[in-house]
Structures are given as C-alpha cells and as structure tokens.
Structure 1
Amino acid sequence: MSNRTFTMIKPDAVKAGNIGNILQMITDGGFKIVAMKYLHITTKQAEKFYEVHAGRPFYGELTQFMSSGPIVAAILEKENAVADFRKLIGATNPAQAEEGTIRKKYATSIGENAVHGSDSDENALIEGSFYFSGLEQF
C-alpha cells in the first residue's frame, strides 16, 4: 500500500474560487502536499489522461470539461492515502456524498464534481506521473 495519491481540483471548483477552501480541507484531513501545479490542459491532454474511459458515453463531455479551464494537480502524502482521500472527497454524485466531504460542499453535479481522486495505488502512480516528473516529486 502506497502512502501517496493524486488529485486534481477541477475547472468548476477553480472557476468558483474554491482552490483555497479545498486545499484547506485536504491539509486539515492530514494530507501533506508533496507536489502541486496550476495549469490549463488541452483537450488532447485530457483525452490522454482519461483514455481508460474512451468509448464510454461521457468521455467526450469529460474531456471537454477538463480542458475548459485551469486545474490544480497535486500529489498528496498520508498513510493509507488513496482510501483516506476517497473518503474525504465523497461520492462522485454530490447528492449522495456524505456531509463534510469536498464534493458535498463544492460539487454541483456528477459531471462537475470539484475534484478527482485516484481510485487505486497503481492509478495514483500513473496519474501523478502524467502531471509531474520525478524531479517535481519530493
């Protein structure tokens, strides 16, 4: 089990001015931010990142949304990072997310759900490596 996970604050939450609030919830949740950057990805980059979902009905909408504005990408560290972060962000559908989770507070829909969180240690490594070189990870 890894002690690192990957997250993105999505364009909807960035546009709404929630970067600081979300980062505060992350650090209050006991996570250490070991790498972070603010960037605007292209549609092609979003398609590459989400290629695991290619062919699914929401793929085009997802990649368009993720390239619609700036994001914040980060690698987080904490014991049991993936599972603990998934609990902190809440269910994909904010209507089903538990009170006190990031998505309950800041997501507006299933599609615009404020944050991405890796779903496994393997994907955390793959996703983190997509956005950060080895030199950027402490």
Structure 2
Amino acid sequence: SANCRTFVAVKPDGVQRKMVGEIVRRFERRGFKLVALKLVQASEDLLKEHYWDLRSKPFYRELVSFMSSGPVVAMVWEGLDVVKTARKMLGETNPADSLPGSIRGDYCVEVGRNVIHGSDSVESAQKEIHLWFHPNELQSWENSSSRWIYN
C-alpha cells in the first residue's frame, strides 16, 4: 500500500561526509513522503537493541561502537513498496556488490563504512520505527504531488 513505511538512518560516516541532503533528495525525487526526521546521538542501549539480531556476529561490538561515534540522521519514509524500493536505492550491504546508481554503489567502498541503514523487511521497519521514534514524532500530512506519483 502507499501507506507503507520504512526506517532509514544516515550513519555517522554519511553525516561526516555531508551526504544527508543528497540522500533525502534521492528519496524525495523517487516520490516517497518524509514523515519523520531527526539528528540524534544514539545511545549504546538503543543500538544494541537495534542490532540485536547481529549480536552473535564478530563485528557486532565494533558496529555498535561505530554507530555511537557521532550523530545519526534517523528518518521514516512512506510510500508504495517503500521497504523493498529503499533497499534497492541503498544497494548491497557490501558496497563492492552494489550497483552504480545506488547510494552505496555511488559513494561507498568498504562494508564497515557503508553510509546508510534501511529496514530489511516490513516487520523490521515497524520495529525500528517504534525503537527510534515516539508516535507523536511521525507526521501525517497530505503530499500535494501524490496524484502525480500514484495512479
């Protein structure tokens, strides 16, 4: 449905490299609606919960440490098939496997510095949105251009 939502976060490396505007631009141009956005210094507790599924991986502690090393731009985007489409826009987790035209394919070299996170399923999107945002931070608004985006 066009009301599907996903969670996207520009990681500390993306913020340091001044890529926030470019990333927002890509999602807006694609036709998705921004419903939440904030710049946050993520706590270790938040990140441990966010990456709970990866806790047994060898890179887990380094990932949590990296993600808390600087501000993160947390966002919620809304639109038709937004979870699946956002993942395609991001590219593969490993930038070396990402196609040119994707965010990671255009701007990233190494997996540990891949600039951006996006929910990998509708279920994780709901969980991550709930984890990073209070319900009153999610804005419901009428996008005046949606009739030019949706049939």
TM-score, normalised with respect to structure 2: 0.87
Amino acid at match of 1:73: A
Where do 4+ consecutive residues of structure 1 move more than 6 Å? none
Aligned to 2:147: none
Secondary structure, aligned partner of 1:14: helix
How far residue 42 of structure 1 moved from its aligned partner, in angstroms, is 2.1
Aligned to 2:63: 62
Within 5 Å, give how 1:1-138 maps onto structure 2.
3-138=4-139
Amino acid at match of 1:27: E
Larger Rg: 2
How far residue 46 of structure 1 moved from its aligned partner, in angstroms, is 1.3
How far residue 27 of structure 1 moved from its aligned partner, in angstroms, is 1.1
Give the Cα separation in 2 of the matches to 1:92 and 1:50: 14
TM-score, normalised with respect to structure 1: 0.94
Q: Deviations over 1:1-41 (max 9, x none)?
A: 66111110000010111111111111112211101110111
Give the Cα separation in 1 of the matches to 2:82 and 2:108: 21
How far residue 93 of structure 1 moved from its aligned partner, in angstroms, is 1.1
Give the Cα separation in 2 of the matches to 1:9 and 1:79: 21
Give the Cα separation in 2 of the matches to 1:71 and 1:108: 20
How much identity, in percent, do the aligned residues show?
39
Structure 2 stretches lacking a partner, 5+ long: 140-151
- Provide the aligned length of Structure 1 versus Structure 2: 138
The RMSD of aligned alpha carbons is 1.2
Structure 1 stretches lacking a partner, 5+ long: none
How far residue 132 of structure 1 moved from its aligned partner, in angstroms, is 0.7
How far residue 111 of structure 1 moved from its aligned partner, in angstroms, is 1.3
